[in-house]
């Protein structure tokens, strides 16, 4: 099958591209390197250096390649940017996504699989773990822009028959995650500690997140190729871990005695998020990695690239 992966040079997108190629699919990558890295690219994939907000250039890709399935992972994913530059956040996450959805309809794509943010979309939880029936109350512009796309997906299925699956992610971590962004504390903490630097925790470290390993997320995307039509699913472990415990786990694994620096909380950060993924698990997906395994693989990766 010919698969188009937006954000295929990014953290999750590159792992997904690798798996698709391993499974024998032809992979097209659309990435403008907003946050993706060329070293993440699989040499067997065909790259189009295109911004998803450029409708005409994106249309040229669809016209030339006519992909059968689209995995949409490209996004502006920083909460702080979304709060300071909401227009930019909406331009990329909403307009870029509508471009992709509309072209998928126009060129008869069999299915679009969308990478959404569970934590940012749900906002501060009314209960945990959060299931798909929980209200959508984002506390940051990023959460609004990411969730808005689901309404377009519903509309394009209802009016035009475009099949989709939306995957609402917990906090994803693993090899290739950017250690210099504002999110991805596992990568940030690991990178700092391996360089004998003290990382920063925004808040007191009690914030709770559901940490899901990147290969489990790839499994969910592969599952969605032939399952979960026209529906949305949480992708998470159902286990909550505090930011402080993440730091302590990495520090202990490395055998270090460095302490963290505490800073004020950031605007737009939810206090807690643990996702109930029973809906997805009852349909055949299961997380294979526990937190300890994932931490070991992530540390091994960063050790291999830090000189």
- 40-50 tens-digit pLDDT: 999 999 999 99
For residue 298, give the CATH number of its domain: 3.90.25.10
Question: Do 62 and 126 sit in the same domain of this protein?
Answer: yes
Range of the domain at 184: 173-209+239-305
Question: Do 24 and 111 sit in the same domain of this protein?
Answer: yes
- 33-78 tens-digit pLDDT: 998 999 999 999 999 999 999 999 999 999 999 999 999 999 998 8
Mean pLDDT score, 134-159: 96
Question: Do 68 and 187 sit in the same domain of this protein?
Answer: no
**Total domain count, the chain:** 2
Question: Do 159 and 194 sit in the same domain of this protein?
Answer: no
DSSP 7: T
Question: Do 44 and 62 sit in the same domain of this protein?
Answer: yes
For residue 159, give the CATH number of its domain: 3.40.50.720
Q: Which residues contact 221 (CB under 8 A, 6 or more apart)?
A: 16, 71, 113, 115, 167
- 199-229 tens-digit pLDDT: 999 999 999 999 999 999 999 999 999 999 9
pLDDT (0 to 100) of residue 187: 96
Question: Do 52 and 129 sit in the same domain of this protein?
Answer: yes
142 is catalytic: yes
Mean pLDDT score, 188-205: 94
Question: Do 15 and 100 sit in the same domain of this protein?
Answer: yes
What are 80's two structure tokens? 């702080």
Confidence of residue 307 (pLDDT cuts 50, 70, 90): low
Q: Which residues contact 164 (CB under 8 A, 6 or more apart)?
A: 111, 112, 113, 114, 153, 156, 157, 229, 230
Question: Do 161 and 270 sit in the same domain of this protein?
Answer: no
Check 114, 122, 142, 289 and give the catalytic one.
142
Confidence of residue 271 (pLDDT cuts 50, 70, 90): confident
Question: Do 149 and 18 sit in the same domain of this protein?
Answer: yes
Question: Do 290 and 195 sit in the same domain of this protein?
Answer: yes
Q: How far is CA 264 from CA 192, 202, 259, in A?
A: 19, 5, 17
Q: What is the pTM of this model?
A: 0.95
Question: Do 118 and 182 sit in the same domain of this protein?
Answer: no
254 φ/ψ angles, rounded to the nearest 5 degrees: -85, -10
């Amino acid at each position: 099958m010919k698969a188009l992966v937006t954000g295929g040079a990014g953290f999750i997108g590159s792992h997904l591209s690798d798996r698709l190629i391993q499974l024998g699919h032809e992979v097209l990558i659309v990435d403008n390197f907003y946050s993706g890295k060329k070293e993440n690219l699989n040499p067997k994939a065909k790259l189009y250096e295109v911004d998803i907000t450029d409708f005409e250039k994106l249309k040229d890709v669809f016209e030339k390649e006519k992909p059968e399935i689209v995995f949409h992972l490209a996004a502006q994913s920083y909460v702080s940017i979304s709060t300071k530059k909401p227009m930019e956040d909406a331009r990329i996450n909403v307009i870029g996504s509508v471009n992709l959805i509309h072209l998928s309809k126009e060129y008869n794509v069999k299915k679009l699989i969308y990478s959404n943010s569970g934590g940012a979309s749900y906002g501060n939880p009314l209960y945990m773990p959060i299931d798909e029936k929980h209200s959508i109350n984002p506390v940051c512009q990023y959460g609004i822009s990411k969730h808005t796309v689901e309404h377009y997906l519903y509309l394009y299925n209802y009016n035009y028959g475009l099949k989709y699956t939306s995957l609402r992610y917990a906090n994803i971590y693993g090899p290739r995650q950017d250690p210099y962004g504002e999110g991805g504390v596992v990568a940030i903490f690991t990178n700092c500690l391996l360089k004998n630097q003290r990382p920063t925790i925004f808040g007191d470290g009690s914030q709770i997140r559901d940490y899901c390993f990147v290969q489990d997320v790839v499994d969910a995307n592969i599952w969605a190729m032939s399952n979960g039509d026209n529906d949305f699913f949480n992708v998470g472990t159902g286990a909550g871990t505090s930011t402080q415990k993440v730091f302590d786990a990495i520090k202990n694994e490395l055998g270090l005695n460095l302490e963290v620096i505490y800073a004020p909380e950031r605007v737009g950060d939810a206090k807690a998020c643990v996702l109930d993924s029973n809906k997805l698990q009852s349909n055949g997906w299961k997380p294979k990695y526990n937190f300890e395994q994932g931490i070991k693989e992530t540390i091994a990766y960063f050790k291999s690239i830090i000189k």
